[in-house]
Amino acid sequence: MATAAITGTVGDGATEAEIVAGTGTIIITLTGDTWPAAGGGTAGPFTYVQSNAALASATTITLTGVGAGNTIIVFTKWEGVGAATDTSVADGATPFVAGTAIHTDTNSFHSQIHYLLSSAGGSRTFTITWPGNTDWAQAVVAEFSHSGAGAVVEDAEEGGTGSGTALQSNNTNTSVADTAVIGCGASFTGTQAFSSHQINDIAADGNVNATYYVDDDGVYQTSANCYSTMWWRILTGTMSGGHAQVTADQSDSWHCHVISFK
């Protein structure tokens, strides 16, 4: 049987692809569907599953009944290191991808997003490695499932810093429909409550606030003081020039991140 190499290029959202096979041309047409976007992006639609704040341990955060292949996002906030040193998160021997960390206030206020695109299933304990001399450390975690056949990939990430009560990330775009967009915010010591969680000026689908912090002696404490929060929206269309925003009840220095997955 004779064989021939088959090559072709498919554009994002196309319904037809021209495939060159030897000296002939084959036209492949989809009915009621489109070709996936280049570079992945066929994992959505996404669904929020569950979230949690760090347990009363400075080094772990947990989720129970995680779905195999689901995406996990961890947001960490900490103070008092005095150097631009990042945190790391892992599920056993599997490290999370570290997003861009923000370090401000003379390197005494820090925050960072970490994510695992495809998690193992079951009850998971995620290990957080904090820099030395860490105070007021907090972590929150969320799980998202997806029903598309493709693998989850990061779409875009941005951050923003400022002071006051109105936290807002820099603007970003999503490249495809059916994305999960997650905002993360942190306040430097002052805030006890966050409200009006939004993605692109529209109310978030949900949020989780940190409920523990590490005191000056390195001991985890339960408190009404909430210095960090995570929120999300599940999009079915693209977002252009969008951002994450949230309101703090007290004015202070702040960080605000936004990240999307497709």
Query: Which pLDDT tens digit goes with each residue over 116-132?
Result: 999 999 999 999 998 87
Q: Which two tokens stand for residue 227?
A: 């210095």
Residue 2 confidence (pLDDT) above 60 = no
In the predicted model, what is the mean pLDDT of the chain? 84
- Which pLDDT tens digit goes with each residue over 55-86? 655 689 999 999 999 999 999 998 888 788 89
Closest residue by Cα to residue 245 from 187, 203, 189: 203
User: What integer pLDDT is reported at residue 220 of this predicted model?
Assistant: 63
DSSP 177: S
Compute the distance between CA of residue 129 and CA of residue 81 in angstroms, rounded to an integer. Answer: 13
CB within 8 A of 3, min separation 6: which ones?
A: none
Position 137 confidence tier, pLDDT thresholds 50, 70, 90: confident
Higher pLDDT, 73 or 218: 73
On whether the CB atoms of residues 255 and 100 are closer than 8 A, the answer is no
In 3D space, the residue among 156, 62, 75 whose CA is nearest the CA of residue 110 turns out to be 75
The amino acid at residue 229 is T
**Measured distance CA(2)–CA(12) in Å, rounded:** 32
Phi/psi for 243 (5° steps) reads -155, 170
Q: 1: Cβ–Cβ under 8 A, 6 or more apart, which residues?
A: none
Please say if the pLDDT value at position 35 is more than 50.
no
Euclidean distance between the first and the last CA atom of the chain, given in angstroms as a whole number: 41
How far apart, in Å, are the Cα atoms of 154 and each of 9, 20, 51, 194, 205? 23, 32, 19, 26, 20
Select from 112, 114, 105 the least CA-distant residue to 80: 105
Mean pLDDT value of segment 210-238: 79
- Single-letter amino acid, residue 56: A
- Does the pLDDT at position 185 exceed 50? yes
Judging by DSSP bridges, how do beta strands 194-199 and 122-129 pair with one another? unpaired
* Residue 238, number of CB atoms within 10 A of its CB: 15
Cα(91)–Cα(191) distance, integer angstroms: 30
What's the angle, vertex CA 209, arms to CA 101 and CA 169, rounded to 5? Answer: 40
Answer whether residue 211 shows pLDDT above 90.
no
Tokens of 144: 């998202």
